[in-house]
Structure 1
Amino acid sequence: MLFDKIKKIGIVPVVKLEDAQDAKPLAKALCDGGLPCAEVTFRTEQAADAIKNMKEAYPEMLVGAGTVLTTSQVDEAVNAGAEFIVSPGLNPEVVEYCIEKNIPILPGCANPSDVEQAIKYGLKVVKFFPAEAAGGIKTIKAMAAPYHQMKFMPTGGVNPDNINEYLNFDKIIACGGTWMVKDNLIKEKKFDEIQNLTTQAVHKMLGFKLAHIGINCDNEEQAHKVAEAFDFMFGFAPKENPSSIFSDTYVETMKTPFLGTKGHIAIAVNSVERAKVYLEQKNIAFNEDSAVYRPDGKMQAVYMAQEVGGFAIHLVRNPALS
């Protein structure tokens, strides 16, 4: 489903293109930076051609049309290759037209009345716009309580400082943002800088950090000696479980050899699903059989297929979010 794909990407760059010829290098910068997605706004006459150029150059990229105000713009966008429509407000004519033609649409909603109209049309996801000006995450949480079936894509004022505050709320599928695709950077054709900003945005969203190091021991007696050494040297108090001993949260000593020739390295992330999708774009394979899921259906952990320096690598959900 399209919204599932958007959710796994996490950030939708909102793009304004004055020159359709910039669409291809911009698409490359976004894809190489880790965000194979764009909402091309219909605020310029070049929007349809830009969408077409993006999809022809990068057919795997998820491209939508934003600031769509009329049904004729819907047709123009879809004919150019747009896979979803985004509008700043909830225009009944545009919404009904998209529903009739089975075109995914995210109309802008900023208050309960808008959300109720969206529910009337059977929509499950809406754009929350303008996000920060309309009260930000506090307003979304307040509206999500009575409208529990609705999910949101906030846009407007989202930036590196607040992106995770939004994405950590499970009623938000993704955020629209412009900070990595600023108008001046596109006009000046600074696509390398756009790629760098995109990569920074992805890393900020995912929050990669070292969780712990795992050490493989041959037996339980050896594992206890290792754990005792860390406690003696550094005061890392041991906490034993059936298969291993944790020294504080820093080192996990395995009682019998587990994955990895030498052991394993755990990398904490804000979303295992999004981090997995990002790394798969880099052709990094995963051991799907190793995936562990939480009761709520979210992925808790998963191992990569290849070792690095003799260590198995696995992603694990940031404990602070559990």
Structure 2
Amino acid sequence: MHEILSKISLIGIVPVVKINDTEKAVPLAKALSDGGIPAAEITFRTEQAEEAIVRITKEMPDVLVGAGTVLTTEQADRAIKAGAGFVVSPGLNPQVVAHCMQKGIPVIPGCSNPSDIEQAMALGLDVVKFFPAEAAGGVKMLKALSGPYGNMKFMPTGGITADNVNDYLSFSKVIACGGSWMVPENLIKQGNFEKITILAREAMESILGFKLSHVGINCEKDEQAGKVAASFSSLLNLDLYNGGVSIFAGNAAGNIIEVMKTPYKGRHGHIAIKTNYIERAVNYITGKGYKFDQSTAKYDLNNKLQTIYLESEVGGFAIHLVQ
């Protein structure tokens, strides 16, 4: 998969944007980036699209900007010249695909049936846009389509909302979703970029799904750990079970306290945060300026990241993410 598409996958969502006023292009990109979505697909449905891409790529170089609704090789050339990092089209036009590939620009054409996908494969593509996603049958249709084509990945677009985005992202063949609910046209027209930042942040919070997993408390020895765990068990009616290096006090409701038998990470202990997509969460938090301790990363048998700690403590507690 192309490097830019890998970066898109780490974000998880690509806002599909229609720009009618180029003066709003940079503030819009900044609003999205501030909300944790440093990406945008500027559709070539307006005359301002080309200039909007030029301005964003010049003034917001950390934002991944692509051109959408590209229907011809001429539009593709204009988009590439403007600085678009990727090209998206509603359908599969072999000429447009071949042209972009020759230019070294990742292209994501729209596909909605097996014939489209096989043509995309014949052209050398490994990522396509499933469009129009909801109208074409949604996640159920996408899973059926992907069955015979194990190496193909998808970016569903069309009818994606905050309510169904995780239905798509939880499917392993989906690298990201295209959506416009966080960039409604009326807010762009009004210049209400603060609201767009809020919607972008809410979108990422919905996707990442941060929740408290458990709190770890450091003790000096087994006996002390046992007393602390027993106290929480008595206080909150939690079950006790031995985890080897620690004692857990918890119940089915998800209230879990881990008491370490010997001091572990963090001056006082550690806090574990669950997330729907740990690699996207790492990317999102890194974008806020935090760093992760790569030596603490643990992977499953498929080499998928399962847990990792931040480098810095918060309030004397080490913080780690859990898939």
User: Which TM-score applies when normalising by structure 1?
Assistant: 0.96
- The alpha carbon displacement at 1:127 in A equals 0.4
Structure 1 stretches (4+) deviating beyond 6 angstroms? none
Match of 1:308 in 2: 314
SS in 2 for 1:154: coil
Q: Distance in 1 between matches of 2:284 and 2:61?
A: 18
State the one-letter code of the partner of 1:302: I
- The alpha carbon displacement at 1:226 in A equals 1.9
State the one-letter code of the partner of 2:51: D
Q: Distance in 2 between matches of 1:252 and 1:17?
A: 51
Q: Distance in 2 between matches of 1:297 and 1:36?
A: 27
The equivalences for 1:206-217 within 5 A come to 206-217=208-219
Q: Distance in 2 between matches of 1:145 and 1:231?
A: 48
Match of 2:232 in 1: 230
Is 1:159 matched with 2:161?
A: yes
Query: Paired residue for 1:277, among 252, 264, 283?
Result: 283
* CA offsets 1:237-285 (integer angstroms, 9 cap, x no match): 1221221122125111111100011101111111111111111111111
Moved more, 22-31 or 224-233: 224-233
- The alpha carbon displacement at 1:3 in A equals 1.2
Q: Distance in 1 between matches of 2:301 and 2:233?
A: 33
Match of 2:77 in 1: 75
Q: Distance in 1 between matches of 2:264 and 2:27?
A: 45
Is 1:257 matched with 2:263?
A: yes
SS in 1 for 2:62: coil
Moved more, 278-287 or 150-159: 278-287
Query: Paired residue for 1:298, among 284, 287, 304?
Result: 304
* CA offsets 1:82-123 (integer angstroms, 9 cap, x no match): 010000000111111112222210000011111111111111
Q: Distance in 2 between matches of 1:191 and 1:228?
A: 51
- The alpha carbon displacement at 1:217 in A equals 0.8
Q: Distance in 2 between matches of 1:158 and 1:207?
A: 17
Structure 1 segments unaligned to the other structure (5+ residues): 318-322
Match of 1:107 in 2: 109
Count of matched residue positions in the alignment of Structure 1 and Structure 2:
317
Q: Distance in 2 between matches of 1:77 and 1:143?
A: 30
Match of 2:87 in 1: 85
State the one-letter code of the partner of 1:67: T
RMSD: 1.0
State the one-letter code of the partner of 1:280: T
- The alpha carbon displacement at 1:297 in A equals 2.2
- The alpha carbon displacement at 1:233 in A equals 2.8
Structure 2 segments unaligned to the other structure (5+ residues): none
Q: Alignment identity in percent?
A: 56
User: Which TM-score applies when normalising by structure 2?
Assistant: 0.96
* CA offsets 1:158-191 (integer angstroms, 9 cap, x no match): 1110111111111100000100111111111111
- The alpha carbon displacement at 1:229 in A equals 2.1
Moved more, 219-228 or 12-21: 219-228
Match of 2:40 in 1: 38
State the one-letter code of the partner of 1:232: S
Moved more, 41-50 or 97-106: 97-106
SS in 1 for 2:155: strand
Q: Distance in 2 between matches of 1:156 and 1:246?
A: 45
